[in-house]
Structure 1
Amino acid sequence: MDRMIAVAQFGQQDIARRLGINVTDLTCLGFLIEARTSGEALAAGGLAERARLTTGAVTGVLNRLEKAGYVRRVPDPGDRRRVTVVMEEAAEQRILEVYGPFYARLGELFADYEPAEVAVLADWFGRATELFRESLDEIRDSGAATRPTPRA
């Protein structure tokens, strides 16, 4: 499991570099894609919450993603203080060019399993994701970073 996570982390760095953005921007882009796929309009504040960034940091992310042509901000007609972040249509194609082969391979892998087995895998990954979030919350809430104990 640790090896898979490490490979994924290094992969995210390579993917971000190929897309011309940094890993934090790629993570935020992932949240925007997820929201769009589920039909949800994601506001800048919601993105900050999901990415665990300050609103100021998300402003920087959105500035970079807009400049790179991935997103645009649209004022909320019901609340002029709020903006919704919208993916640019051409951006999806750029992203699929990079992620497409990986998702095709995942599709082939899932084809080796029965639907009930895929359901178990999906359940496991969903639950494991929640455990990761809970553990990270505990680490963040525990305060100061731990330092190695000096050797005597």
Structure 2
Amino acid sequence: MPATPRPTATPAQALEAMDSLIAAHLLGQQEMAQRLGLNITDLLCFACVLKAGENLLTAGDLAEHAHVTTGAMTGILNRLERAGFITRRPDPADRRRVRVAAVPAAVSRVEALYGPYYGRLNDLFASYSADEIAVLTDWFTRTTGLAQAYIDELREKEDQKDSRKDSRKDTDSKTAKSRAKNKNQA
């Protein structure tokens, strides 16, 4: 389909439109999660399971994708399993590990909920030329990379900050023990 003429926009206008999209997306995801009886983190993890398809992920894989600890992932998987979204299967290569599979009925529920929205998105994409879709795809991909890199950077700074706090606690603890020892020897 030929491209529809588009109004010109400045980078500031594009960022404002993006902020509006992100806000609408966050509200939409929260609404979808509630309708499925999940919280947003559990929905994100289930989306990772769906994206993996037949390449079943381990709990550790999911924890990495969702940026949560493996301990937190255990709780998430317990909730998803109780809610009928996933099953755990023994890893054929290592029986100590489990792999996570989506329950077909849950997949159908999610597809029924998201299907109309994705249909509307496909209709919207149909109004763009192939070149415009290529630009959009490039922008989505690169922006996702920027966002992930920034999140990693923030987490790294937080980890360094926590490490410095732990180091100070260790030093303070050693100093207190040394003082107590010296006091007892006196």
Kindly indicate whether residue 19 of structure 2 is the aligned counterpart of residue 7 of structure 1. no
- For the residue of structure 2 that corresponds to 1:142, the secondary structure is helix
Kindly indicate whether residue 110 of structure 2 is the aligned counterpart of residue 60 of structure 1. no
Structure 2 length normalisation: TM-score? 0.74
1:149 maps to: none
Q: Tell me, in whole angstroms, the C-alpha distance in 1 between the residues paired with 2:82 and 2:130.
A: 42
Deviation at 1:77, TM superposition (A): 1.7
- For the residue of structure 1 that corresponds to 2:68, the secondary structure is coil
- For the residue of structure 2 that corresponds to 1:113, the secondary structure is coil
Written as runs of structure 1 = structure 2, the 5 A alignment for 1:72-91 is: 72-91=87-106
Residue among 118, 126, 129 paired with 1:103: 118
1:85-109 CA-partner distances (Å, limit 9, x unpaired): 0001111110012101110000000
2:33 maps to: 16
Deviation at 1:132, TM superposition (A): 0.1
Give runs of ≥4 in structure 1 deviating > 2 Å.
none
Deviation at 1:41, TM superposition (A): 2.0
Q: What is the aligned-residue identity percentage?
A: 51
| Segment of structure 1 superposing worse, 22-31 or 77-86 | 77-86
CA RMSD of aligned residues (A): 1.3
1:118 maps to: 133
1:133 maps to: 148
- For the residue of structure 2 that corresponds to 1:125, the secondary structure is helix
Residue among 61, 66, 71 paired with 1:51: 66
Structure 1 length normalisation: TM-score? 0.89
In structure 1, the gaps of 5 or more residues are: 146-152
1:128-149 CA-partner distances (Å, limit 9, x unpaired): 000000111111112259xxxx
**Larger proportion of helix:** 2
Q: Which has the larger radius of gyration?
A: 2
Amino acid at match of 2:134: A
Q: Number of aligned pairs?
A: 143
Written as runs of structure 1 = structure 2, the 5 A alignment for 1:137-148 is: 137-143=152-158
Amino acid at match of 1:3: S
Q: Tell me, in whole angstroms, the C-alpha distance in 2 between the residues paired with 1:119 and 1:63.
A: 40
Deviation at 1:2, TM superposition (A): 1.0
